[in-house]
Amino acid sequence: MAGVNSYKGFYAIHDHMPGAEDVLRIGGTVEFRTSGWSAQLRPHERKGPTGINPFIFYVDLVLVPPPDGTGVAEVLTDFELPELRLEPPTLEYQEVLFNVVGGDEDEPVPNRLEVEHPR
């Protein structure tokens, strides 16, 4: 059973406004096809080279299905992700690239996000 219906309102912001914290904030909402699902964002632990562009921050979007035997409602259910905060970011990241963990192959995948840099 595929769990994700869609991804909504994903953002990546590194605020440079005077008085702002030096934090890269990443978040959004996952809309699941049934109740009982949860999800979390975590930095991707890469083994080996980081790739051609070091200014891409890799994030795992971990999808957690309802426990086996749990009754679920067949209703679209929004799950607001706890915000991932990188304090302070090690680089001036320009993009965030997601790796979905625990999903089915036919589920949609969130797009690569440009990091907003308000100044």
- All residue ranges of the chain with pLDDT < 70 are 1-2, 47-51
Q: What is the pLDDT of residue 50?
A: 61
- Give strand ranges (E) for 1-119: 4-14, 24-32, 38-43, 56-64, 77-80, 84-86, 95-101, 113-114
Nearest-CA neighbor of 12 among 108, 112, 88?
A: 112
For residues 56 and 113, what is the distance between their CA atoms, to the nearest angstrom?
10
Domain range list for the chain = 4-114
Which letter, b or e, does each residue of 16-37 get, where b requires 16 or more Cβ atoms within 10 Å of its Cβ?
Answer: eeeeeeeebbbbbebbbbbebb
Cα–Cα distance for residue pair 13/58, rounded to 1 Å? 14
Q: Are 76 and 29 in contact (CB under 8 A)?
A: no
